[in-house]
Chains A and B, each alone.
Chain A
Amino acid sequence: MADTGLAATLRLQRGEWTLDVELACPVGITCVMGPSGSGKSTILQLLAGLAVPDGGRIELAGDVLLDRAKGISVPTHDRRLAYVFQGLALFPHRSGLGNVTYGMSREVPRPARIDKAQQLLDKLGVGHLARRRPRTYSGGEAQRVALARAIARSPRLILLDEPFSALDHDLKLQLIELVCGLASELRVPIVHVTHSAAEARLLADQVVRIERGKVVAVGTPGEVLANVPALD
């Protein structure tokens, strides 16, 4: 694994259900695919430190974030990652600017943070939402603000948990294009969880297919999704 990539082995037991996966995600977009209940979102939570695995190791860009054998576990707030939740989890009591500046380093003066946040919102086409609260956003606008918030803190790893699942086809395509553009610009690993093969074909540099908590296939979209129907 290159020094800028993500390497993880994760083991988790919850009653009868077991997750046991090994991931190697280089810079670019890795789509983690699988049916509901296969453990896709759990993998993101473990990578983010929102849940603790029973065993395993996570290494990001040469830094060890977790090593259960050695008792190392970097807290979530120090992992410098970005996580776009399925429901987006925009702070309802903060404006667009308030959401985007939230994760920025507080060592940067406030005016500079606001300038940068406004630039990001403009870049993602939602500059007009800077002063408005999330309850006034449309689905696509909320997605863009969530992406702006995610990249504003210059993350070393981006985790996307089915962020486009509730969007219509055209809007989904626009946002997929946006994420592809961000991926080539940011040069960090992006782990994108989806159950949509069509989405994975459009987005992924690498596809990891999991079933019942185990990795069953890894490769390019062409290799892993060859026998999966185009419409899903």
Chain B
Amino acid sequence: MSRERIWLIVRVSGLALLGVLAFVFRAEFSWGPLLLSLEVAGIATLLTLVFGVGLALLLQWRRLPARDLIDAIVSTPLVLPPTVLGYYLLVVLGNGSVFGDAWKATFGRAIIFNFEGAVIAAAVGSMPLVVRSARVGLESIDPNLIAAARTLGARPMRILFTVVLPLAAPGIIAGCMLGFARALGDYGATLMVAGARIDGTPTASVYIMDQLLAGKDEHVMTTAIATTVFGIVMLYFANRLTRSLQQRG
């Protein structure tokens, strides 16, 4: 991409952001819900990046027992209603569950109705998108490249970090991009696992519903537009990054 085009993209994005900021400040925009949603979605995306890529690598292993069953279970959040996913998470992570009690004993606070619960709900919901996209990236790698790395003396971990992950990066980034978008917009599962407020602040989705019910249409509109613009800008740059990585190959 030429330097002129990069400047053009930066200028247009900057102007769009300035426009949104001017609009939201004029409307006494409440930043808290949007920042909370971005924080939850950002951390959830980091989690899905690590665990999602790990799961995708595991599912690439042809001799993995019950591979198809594990694949189906990992993909289940795609087809479940968010409330059902939220219910399962409450059962697994809630007070009285093995995991929930162990977490509380270790960190001194419960997972559910807390920030951690919102992150886990968002991460579990977006995990299949990351896993599926990462698998597409991994499957696109020519097996001869891995064989070549082996003959050149590389051990498995070196092959993973120098051949497999760089070549699968476009698929992984595309998955994270979709996962972030999914996490940013999560409503049902977050509401069930984290409640309507986290330390007094709702996520953007919950805030929009609250304001809509309270008849504050202007707040609904500004939050919706701000969320949309953040989503578009983020997806746009992720798309550019993915394409640049694909062209590099």
Contact = CB atoms under 8 A, between A and B. Distances in A.
Interface in A32-60: 48-50
Interface string B145-182: 10111111111000000110011000000000000000
Contacts of A83: 147-148, 151
A82 B151 contact: yes
Interface stretch (A87-95, A118-126, A172-180): A87-95
Interface string A49-77: 11000000000000000000000000011
Contacts of B4: none
B153 A87 contact: no
Given A133-B248, A135-B249, A89 B153 contact: no
B248 A76 contact: no
B123 to A, nearest CB: 29
Contact of B249 (A85, A87, A93): A93
A87 B142 CA distance: 10
Interface residues of B, number: 18
Interface in B224-249: 248-249
Nearest to A152: B152
A77 B145 contact: no
Nearest to A83: B151
Contacts of A87: 142, 144
Nearest to B141: A92
A92 B245 CA distance: 11
Nearest to B169: A93
Given A77-B155, A135-B249, A91 B150 contact: no
A103 B153 contact: yes
Interface string B123-154: 00000000000000000001011011111111
A89 B248 contact: no
A71 to B, nearest CB: 20
Interface of B: 142, 144-145, 147-155, 162-163, 166-167, 248-249
27 contacts: A48-B147, A50-B150, A76-B150, A76-B151, A77-B151, A78-B153, A79-B151, A80-B153, A82-B151, A82-B152, A83-B148, A85-B144, A87-B144, A89-B147, A89-B148, A90-B148, A91-B148, A92-B145, A92-B249, A93-B166, A93-B248, A93-B249, A102-B154, A102-B162, A103-B153, A149-B152, A153-B153
Can you list the 7 inter-chain pairs with the closest CB atoms, starting with the nearest?
Answer: A103-B152, A89-B148, A83-B151, A89-B144, A92-B249, A76-B150, A77-B153
